[in-house]
Structure 1
Amino acid sequence: MEHVPPPAEELALLDRELVRLDARRTQLLHRRAWLLTVVRPPAAPPPFAPPGARPPAAPSVWGPPPTGAPAASVSGARGAQNVLLVLGGLLLAVAAIAFTLLSWGEMGIAGRSAVLAAVTAGALAAPAALLRRGLSSTAEALAAPALVLTVLDAYALHAVALPGADGAGYAAAASVVLASLWATYGLSLRRLRVPLPAAVTAAQLPLVLWAWSAGAPAVVFGWALLVTAAADAVVASRCGGLPVRVTAWSWAAVTGAVALLIGLTSSLSADGALSAVGPAALLLAGAVAVAAAGWRAPGEWAVAAGAVAGATAVVAVGGVPRAAVPWSWAVVVYLLCAAALSAVERLRAVPRGVVRGALGASAAVAAGAVLLVLPVVASALLGPVALPAGVWSGAPEGVREALGASMPWRDVAPAPVVLLVVAALLGARYAARPRTAGPVPGWWAAAGAGSLGLGWAAVPVLLAVADAPYAVAVVVDVAVVAGLLAVAVRRAPDGPMWTALGCAVAGAVGAGLLALASEPATYAVSGALVVLFGWAATVSRVVVVRSLAAVASVLCALVVAVAAGVSLEWSAPRAALVVLVVPAVTVALGVRSRPPAVPLAVSLSLEGAGAFGALVAVGMSVADAPYLALVLASCGVLAATTALRPERRPGAGYLAAGLFVAAAWVRLAASGVRDVEAYTLPLSVVACAVGFLRSRTDPALSSWAAYGPGIALTLVPSLLVAWGDTQWPRPLLLGVAALAVTLLGAARRLQAPLVLGGTVLALDALHELAPQVAQVFAALPRWAFPALAGLLLLTIGATYEQRLRDARRVRRSLGRMR
């Protein structure tokens, strides 16, 4: 087969094409090089370069990159260079250490000295020569092994020339020499970043090592660390290099923290005032040093420095008197010192950041003191819940007997002092608030609320610590509640008002529980609380305060009513009639109260509390059916009275009808009546007739209001009796009557007859079919029920949408009925 074109011509064609491609590639490379110079101009020369000098080329292990190479190759070469230099420096340091520790003894003293001197001198000189050539990375990598060699020189000198010298003392002197040498070396070669931070690190050791060599106590170690930290802070504030500043501040934080920790431990472990003076001086010096460090610090650093300085000053000043008092009073000592620290706010010369930090430290100490005494407060407030003396077992001699022995009250005497001091501090802060026409700012309002809350909590704790007489404790608790209510009703809605109201309610609960130990105290305290909360509900201009006070007054009145029933030695069902007096009073007050004199929320709260009292009466009478019927009827009368008000008529009217019907059912059941229809049917006829006449005059009247009570009055009791009747006439007659009612409701489009009649008819039919259904299920095999259930679910699932539409249709149909 012949080639087209021939092979010789094709070869010549390929050679010409390759030459053309080479020329085109060269042209494109030149164009790319020019574009790189336009897009990324060369870096500016360093500041020390003479005018017109070209910037030195970046050092590279592998040499300069080829023309047209990508820019990423330069950074890759530098990264590889740094890795190799670091590894090389580490290997040199390891070799030097191995030589000094392992091969040192194989050479004579002259050889040792010559080798170390030569290697150290060469290692220290090499970075200077490399820097002159612009090889800064290589110089940096050799500087670190050079510094390690100087440490090894010091070790070798101790091992050969001064073997008997004290190790700690020699190490202290050597660290001084090394720090000075490294600092001088770093200052002479400022482009090296390792020597100066290394000098700062070496300077941390001399004072600590000298204290160690002298066998100094812990406080001296603290002073050594504190002086070192102060020197670090001076270096950090005066030195311009970032690596040195970071290193110095880091070491200052570490050594300063350890020094303060030593001072704190020594202060807390001091067994006398004299032994606490040394730690106190150390802590005070530390506080001054930290405050000085934060004097010119920016923003949050100044606040942090002020907080540390303030807390340290509190521990320092409080440490001396703390050592002279029992441990239980230590919290009071530190709290008083924290209170004195708050005076720093008046020092205008102190930076505001430091002042805020110091105030934060004072607040933190106060908060910690309150947290420490919270268990005592809880025992004093919650102690009456246990009622150790028993209800009406007689007034105890002291309040501790009523609280029980859950807390060793003699050991917690400082607790009320702590609460009162913190309350006084917050009260002073609240009194110094800016006087504005608007609401009090949040911070000041919180201070006022905290002062009220802690002051209130201090009262029961103080009574328990002092073991006040029982009568005195009860009177004081009620008086405190009265004072808190006076504060709540005379203030606009703010933090102190809500705190006063909450503390008043909690104090009323505590006083009421404490009064349960004595019958006269129960009546006196509950009656006084009824009056106090009733007064607050009348006087206050805040709707929420009036509502809560009204509810509290009603609840206290319920306590009086229950106590009266117990005093009369009546049974609970009989005493329920006395309890009903309270709901009756609330209904009477509700009938007389009209907006805007009494806001709607207050009226609803009052009536809701009365309704709760009615529920209490019903619950007390459940055990006795005749009394239950009487109580239900009485509640129906109260509901009907409430329904006289037009705005309450819909809800109260339905409730009254339901209560009357329930009372009739209970009365019939209590009388043992079997043929209930003889009593209910006449009433149902009369009720339905009244409803029919009412619906003629008011076409918009609901069928539930017109016919519901009358129909239910007969059908529901008959259904209950029919379910226990084994004969057939009653269920049959009930079914016929229910069917008639259902058809009547469907024909007249009345919802109540339709729903009530249909429900009773279905339940009556279920009662009649229940035995046959049970027989059918007993005859079926066990697998039949799961199979039928599965088929039912499948059928419902297949026709789910249709069933849903049917349900909506039925609901709409019922909704259109009256």
Structure 2
Amino acid sequence: MDNSLPPADELVLVDRELAQLEARRTQLLARRAWLVQVLYRPARAATPRWPVTPAAPAADSTPRSAQNVLLTLGGTLLTIAAVAFTLVSWGSMGIGGRAAVLCAVTGAALSAPVVLLRRGLVSTGESVAVLGLVLTVLDAYALHRVALSDTDGLGYAAVASAVLAGAWAAYGSALPRLRVPLPAGVVAAQLPLPLGVLAAGGGATAFAWAALVTAAADGAVVLWTRPLPVRITAGAGAALLGGWALLTGGWLSFSSPWSGAPLLLAGAAVCLYAAWRTPGWAAAVSVVAGLAVVAALGGLLRSAVPGDWAVPGYVLCGLVLASVWRAGVGARLPRGVRTGLTGAGAATVALGLLWALPPVAGGALGPLARTTEVWSGEHTGPGLVAYPATAALVLAVVAAALASVPRLWARCGALALVWALLTALPVAPGLPYAATLALQLLTTAAALWIAVRPAPLTRGLPRPGTTPAASPDARTTAARTTGPTNRPATAATGPSGVSATGPAEPPTSGPSAPGPSAPGPADRPASGPVGTPVADPSAPSAPGPAGQPASGPATSPASGPAGQSAGGSVPPPPSAPPRAPGAGFGAPGTGWMPPRPRPQASAAEPGTVLGWVAYAGGLVSAAGAVALALDVRGATFLALGAVLGLLTGVAVLGTGARRAVSACGAVLAAAGLVFAGAAAAGLEAHWTGLALLLVPAATAAVGATARPVALPVEITGAAVGLSALGLAASRPAFLALVLALGGVIAAATAVRPERRRFASWAAAGLFLLAAWVRLGAWGVTTPEAYTLPVTVPALVVGFLRRRRDPEASSWTAYGPGLAVTLLPSLGAAWTDPEWVRPLVLGVAALVVTLLGARFRLQALLLLGGTVLALDGLHELAPYVVQVVGALPRWLPPALAGLLLLAVGATYEQRLRDARRLRERLARMR
């Protein structure tokens, strides 16, 4: 063997690799055992190997649950008896008897749990303790009725609740195994301050302050006590009383701001402190605090400014609160607190924007709600009057605030708000008609320009695939994740393909897992997301025995997801204990599984998103401007021309779907201009339809050069052509002319190879329809005299083509010739009262159908069969009507039901027959 290492060094290297392989084998065996246990556990459970003895039927209730039910019922009965005794039999005893009964029963009920707990009867002691607590309440009530009946009821209740709260808390602390006394003491502690305020004659403000102080005390209990029932009870009390106090403060911020603001600010301070101390509830509690601050400051501003400025004041407070996220102090606040405060500010701003939306809706949709005639010269306005002009200020301030945030969503929101501001400007101040229309057109132009060139708005935004500057939270999280050190690692392979490393610490199941390690520096192993080694380019390496590098002292292993060495994995030696199956997944050095990838943000290009936002606003403004311009004739032409020019510019300069949509919009604007011109010239509807053919003719010409948008432009032109047919339908002569001109346009389009197939059929159909309409307009009752001279040569040409090209479709060869005669003759037969035409047509259709079936020609079979069926239906229709009229009325529904039952019973067979028929027709030419 030719080696570059001395035999002694190579022996050490081989022994080390063998130890690593053995350790790795131990790890993989442990992993395999765990996987087998997970995969085959359900199968073993479903098919037991040994016979299982049938288990005894489960009892209806466990002994513990039955015991609890019995103890609860017993305690409840004793409580009812005690209440009945106090209310009914109390007056029949003297003072001494009463005192003796109170002391004896209460003392016995409170001392019995001590003995019961010593004997392990916890549930029994719990029930007796609850009875004792109820007896203390009855003692307080009895004491008031007998000895202190002259005192005020509310004041006595406040003092009694305070005494009972302290007594129950002391009792629960003395007997910590009892779960009820301490929460009961917390419940009693909710009453002293509110009842005391009511007893002193305090109003709503004083009561709210008492509730807030009590809620603060409950918060302290939640933060500084350990028993879970006590914390839950105190938390519920804090939420109830604190919520009442904040609601009262919110009501006072409208009626008496200087009384409600201190209450709201104090409540906000309590909530912020609680959010700071409870990370799990920080966001929710901080939202409440933020809303309280906004209500307090907004109420003070509302009392100092005119009524129209109240909502802007609240919006300003919301913006200030939302800026906590980006302010310098935000880096020192917990993330949950900042999230909650920002959410509260954002909610306030959103409500302000909802208040400012009516002028936007009036500016955008108001022109569509017309109350006057078109071109009447009158303008009634959008219908919103006396709306505060400060709505525009709200939109402007929020737009400026969003524009300062270097995020795509904020930039899109700012752009939308700027558009809303320009749309609402004519409504709030009540601008004149000319200024309103000019502003609408300018808004349209600006929005469409941004849709074409959105680059200036993307400055400062992170590009897709780039990482923005790390926030304080990201830096903190990264520091906590990576730790104080981050050591690079390099891996190398030995002569047998297994990792050969220098001195390194073997991977363990945890940061402090026991087990011997190889000599050398204690470098932690590194594992990449796909099991590849993480190498330090600056780390030196020494040559291996087979010419491969062996890692130096700066190396450390990296394990892959399947547990195999990825070019440098160093498993623990055989003496290391195997890792527990499933433990430490994704942790450094585990080697079982790569870390789960985090969801990544969408890779949308900022310019594309901003362009679509601006484009949507531009289209809405364009529609509003056109609708607004219909009040005045000159304004209509001005608006349509401006919109046509703007959309044409977007179609030329834009990209993607916006280009196609703009081209279609430009076609519609051109059609509007033609229609407006015809209306201004006083043309009748059929002349207007004839003039509208200019639009599809222009689109056909443009489609020959505008390749990216040719198809949508031509489809839109065809739709305009259909509207032209509708306008000319009142005059058959003009309809025939419009159809013929449409056929000419389609024939000219068929010159282009990519449109030849569809446009040629469309041209033929339009010419045919034009001929039929013209014959009908001339009053021709015998269309065969005009159609047969066309049909015979067409069929001859088709026959010759089929002889030259047997693969040619029968629809191409014979379809046009047959349709020219059969379809007009069918229409004439349906209106002919004589029997000769239907008979001749039926015979001809039958011959065509039989020829199609004989020579397997699809066009002949379908055309002939369809005409034959319709002709026969026309002849049989009168007799069918007579028969149906003579039948009982219940018989047709019954027959229809039988038919449906038969079809349902043989549904699969009918499907197979239909499928077979379709296949046979498809095989025909």
- TM-score, length basis structure 2: 0.71
Number of the residue aligned with 2:332: 349
Contact preservation (8 Å) 2:626, 2:640: yes
1:296 and 2:286 correspond? no
- Alpha-carbon deviations, 1:580-636, whole Å to 9, x = none? 11111110011223xxxx33xx22111111111111111111111111111111111
For residues 692 and 715 of structure 1, what CA distance do their matches in structure 2 show? 18
Contact preservation (8 Å) 2:309, 2:390: yes
For residues 496 and 555 of structure 1, what CA distance do their matches in structure 2 show? 25
CA shift in 2, pair 1:486/1:736, >3 Å? same
Number of the residue aligned with 1:418: 394
- Which of 370, 375, 380 is the matching residue for 1:387? 370
Give the drift of 1:495: 3.5
For residues 487 and 604 of structure 1, what CA distance do their matches in structure 2 show? 26
What does 1:250-265 align with in structure 2 at a 5 Å threshold?
250-265=236-251
Corresponding letter in the other structure for 2:747: A
Number of the residue aligned with 2:671: 558
- Which of 100, 113, 119 is the matching residue for 2:99? 113
For residues 435 and 337 of structure 2, what CA distance do their matches in structure 1 show? 47
1:527 and 2:508 correspond? no
For residues 124 and 271 of structure 2, what CA distance do their matches in structure 1 show? 40
What does 1:621-660 align with in structure 2 at a 5 Å threshold?
621-660=728-767
Contact preservation (8 Å) 1:376, 1:412: no
- Which of 811, 825, 829 is the matching residue for 1:704? 811
What does 1:400-799 align with in structure 2 at a 5 Å threshold?
401-403=380-382, 405=383, 407=384, 409-429=385-405, 432-433=406-407, 444-445=408-409, 447-491=410-454, 492=605, 494-542=608-656, 544-593=657-706, 598-599=707-708, 602-691=709-798, 700-727=807-834, 729-731=836-838, 733-735=840-842, 737-738=844-845, 741-742=848-849, 745=852, 749-767=856-874
- Alpha-carbon deviations, 1:223-275, whole Å to 9, x = none? 1000001011112211122222122112111111111111112223x1xxxx3
1:177 and 2:163 correspond? yes
Give the drift of 1:325: 4.8
- Alpha-carbon deviations, 1:270-312, whole Å to 9, x = none? 1xxxx3111111011101111111112133x111111111111
CA shift in 2, pair 1:612/1:785, >3 Å? closer
What does 1:74-85 align with in structure 2 at a 5 Å threshold?
76-85=62-71
User: Is the helix fraction higher in 1 or 2?
Assistant: 1
Number of the residue aligned with 2:341: 358
- Alpha-carbon deviations, 1:41-63, whole Å to 9, x = none? xxxxxxxxxxxxxxxxxxxxxxx
Number of the residue aligned with 1:100: 86
For residues 771 and 90 of structure 1, what CA distance do their matches in structure 2 show? 87
- Alpha-carbon deviations, 1:540-559, whole Å to 9, x = none? 122x1111111111111111
For residues 266 and 236 of structure 1, what CA distance do their matches in structure 2 show? 28
For residues 867 and 618 of structure 2, what CA distance do their matches in structure 1 show? 52
Give the drift of 1:742: 4.8
Give the drift of 1:641: 1.5
1:277 and 2:258 correspond? yes
For residues 519 and 176 of structure 1, what CA distance do their matches in structure 2 show? 83
CA shift in 2, pair 1:419/1:157, >3 Å? same
Contact preservation (8 Å) 2:696, 2:721: yes
Contact preservation (8 Å) 2:441, 2:639: yes
Could you tell which deviates more after superposition, 316-325 or 647-656? Answer: 316-325
Could you tell which deviates more after superposition, 612-621 or 475-484? Answer: 475-484
Could you tell which deviates more after superposition, 237-246 or 492-501? Answer: 492-501
SS at 2:730 equivalent: coil
Number of the residue aligned with 1:307: 287
SS at 2:277 equivalent: coil
Give the drift of 1:679: 2.8
Give the drift of 1:381: 2.4
- The gaps in structure 2 that reach 5 residues or longer are 1-55, 455-604
- Alpha-carbon deviations, 1:128-170, whole Å to 9, x = none? 3443444433333222232333333333333333332222222
Give the drift of 1:483: 1.6
Corresponding letter in the other structure for 1:469: P
For residues 893 and 246 of structure 2, what CA distance do their matches in structure 1 show? 77
For residues 97 and 790 of structure 1, what CA distance do their matches in structure 2 show? 73
Number of the residue aligned with 1:241: 227
For residues 791 and 466 of structure 1, what CA distance do their matches in structure 2 show? 71
What does 1:52-91 align with in structure 2 at a 5 Å threshold?
76-91=62-77
Give the drift of 1:469: 1.3
Corresponding letter in the other structure for 1:262: T
Give the drift of 1:419: 3.3
CA shift in 2, pair 1:113/1:770, >3 Å? closer
- The gaps in structure 1 that reach 5 residues or longer are 1-69, 434-443
Corresponding letter in the other structure for 1:402: G
Contact preservation (8 Å) 1:389, 1:402: no
Give the drift of 1:376: 4.5
Corresponding letter in the other structure for 2:236: S
CA shift in 2, pair 1:267/1:652, >3 Å? same
Corresponding letter in the other structure for 2:320: A
Number of the residue aligned with 2:312: 332
Contact preservation (8 Å) 1:448, 1:495: no
For residues 148 and 874 of structure 2, what CA distance do their matches in structure 1 show? 112
Contact preservation (8 Å) 1:172, 1:205: yes
Contact preservation (8 Å) 2:359, 2:428: no
Corresponding letter in the other structure for 1:297: T
The structure showing larger relative contact order (alpha-carbon pairs under 8 Å, at least 6 residues apart) is 2
CA shift in 2, pair 1:105/1:759, >3 Å? closer
How many residues were matched structurally?
716
Corresponding letter in the other structure for 2:622: A
Contact preservation (8 Å) 1:200, 1:248: yes
- TM-score, length basis structure 1: 0.80
CA shift in 2, pair 1:233/1:699, >3 Å? same
Corresponding letter in the other structure for 1:564: G
Contact preservation (8 Å) 1:639, 1:652: yes
CA shift in 2, pair 1:776/1:411, >3 Å? closer
- Alpha-carbon deviations, 1:514-559, whole Å to 9, x = none? 11111111111111111111111111122x1111111111111111
For residues 235 and 787 of structure 1, what CA distance do their matches in structure 2 show? 78
Provide the identity percentage: 53
Q: Supply the RMSD in Å over aligned alpha carbons.
A: 3.3
Could you tell which deviates more after superposition, 387-396 or 200-209? Answer: 387-396
For residues 165 and 354 of structure 1, what CA distance do their matches in structure 2 show? 47
Could you tell which deviates more after superposition, 146-155 or 738-747? Answer: 738-747
For residues 694 and 153 of structure 1, what CA distance do their matches in structure 2 show? 115
For residues 740 and 308 of structure 1, what CA distance do their matches in structure 2 show? 86
